Structure 1
Amino acid sequence: MEALSGVMKKATSIGLFNGIDVSCNGPSLSHLIYADDVMFVGEWSPSNIINLRRMMRCFYLASGLKINLAKCSIFGIGVEDQEIQDTVLLLGCKQAVLAGGQNISFWLDIWADSLPLYLKFPALFKIESVKECLVADRIHMDDNDIVLNWAWARLLAGVEEQNQFQQLVTLIGCPNMSAGYDVWRWPDSVFEWNNWVPKKVGLVAWRADMERLPTKQALAARNVQIQDKLCVFCGEYVETSEHIFVSCHFAQVTWLNLATWWGLPPIIAFGLKDLLTVHGSNSGSEKKRKAIHAVVLVAIWNIWKTRNDALFRNLTPN
């Protein structure tokens, strides 16, 4: 966290992030850190928000510490509600509001974390007896006390299962439950198709956006036997859609080369949504934006094809 503090101080000093002046002659306040929690404070402006997002992306790539947008809260003082909603849309925050938990799948839906629990805790999902159980089947309130009900196919065994169980209990130990119906709240975001590319090309990006591609991590979560879960390109991190197309060095070089070819600034993606919407920030004509979008979709398809060629045909990624 000291490194993050250093990044923010540097960003403030060179004008990438504008904090709040405590007094006329006092220091500028840009962030507060307590343990592993961080609060950023600054002027409400699009440049501040975009630069903060870029800095968090670079910090993640350098340190491996990733911000959990699903747990982020945004507060605007003296700002219209619409502006706050626009910022939520820009950052891609999303949140499930639990009532009785009757309509949200415990393992398969995104509700407690930015990933479905079956992907976050694959060892536990493997021994779950009812894999389509609801939140209400596993959590209920008893006189304001949280009661957790489990249905394991066998007793927990091994260090991995024990560790994942402790992490799961910590994660869901204090769910925000209330009376009423379960609802999902997230920014209005619909996958944008492009008729300049074949359907099969768009389908790969669409499935990747929903984390529905058969990556090694996804296959392991479905109890498919695989040799390992490491990325085919780098061999260092678990293979997920976000890693293949965003975080992996192979993907980063691809996007850097494409940006150079386009004559655009380097693409700093925080997730797949950033790649799929990068054309929207271009000031060119509608045809140019559509062309950039088409190239992004084709690039995603080619990265996936290259991954498959390396995995199944032993070809060297190029």
Structure 2
Amino acid sequence: MPFTGQLEDGRPFIATLALQAHGTGVVGDGKQLKFWIDPWLSTEPLKYKFPSLFCLEQDKRCNVADRIPDCNGSHAVCWNWKHYPATEMEIEELIQCHRLLSNVSLSKQVDRWVWRQEDGDGYSVKDARNWIKGEVLSVNNSVYQWCKWIPNKCNIFMWRASLNRIPTKDALLHRNIYVENGLCGLCGEVEESVDHLFSGCRFASGMWDAIASWCNIPRFYVFSLSDVLLVLNDLPYTAKKKDIMYGIIIIACWRIWKARNDKIFNGSVSSVTLLVADVKSLAFLWFKCRHKEGCIDWRNWCNFVLPVM
């Protein structure tokens, strides 16, 4: 069930996500639209078009009216910098931003939204609901499939990872959060991203090779997290066996993320052998206790001889 709370400014969380993803703000008096956060000059928020300027902004949640006040038709922009733009990149972004803002003028009308996916004007709850249920919350146009026999914490983690909503280093840097370096927290060789962490990292590659050997399935090659989630689709196995292997894959991803955090925050170094052993034991415990057909002993589980087959 998606979170439907409110943001700090009182706007509904899901509605705001839907508008930012598939809506465009039409500026009126500028008191409702967020200058940096909402897409109003184009389909992309200004914080993404001008990241250097966004870093310099002191009030990142300011409204359009805060930056473009109504001054008798004047197009003056009232900035609020931490320090005035000085680097070549900052100056270039400032020039481009002024060009975009040159034709902007406020009116006495209230700010409104236009839903880009529909022919009609304005925003409706139905449009947002269709967006929530549609392709936006999906991986390669396939809605994330919930695994019933593993804990919710693993499912929620995997759902967030599939949307690239976990705090990998590249995601933190994209949000202007300082990290010591952007390299993978496990291998330290490549820039850390969701796709690298669960497919390209040597720890992940070793994990998938070991799991394929344990589950008696062909060795598989993945290049992104979506490949990991869809790897079972073309295998000629029963739906029950695929359901069990799907849960094991999710547990493996969750364990990789936990090992990454342990190394970064606690200095604990894990090996692929230890990670695979943890996946086997956790999956056995959860399958035996939570699956309706989970009557199996440890020896058969280690050989992947399942009673449900």
TM-score by length of 2: 0.50
Pick the structure with greater CA Rg: 2
TM-score by length of 1: 0.49
- Higher strand content, 1 or 2: 1
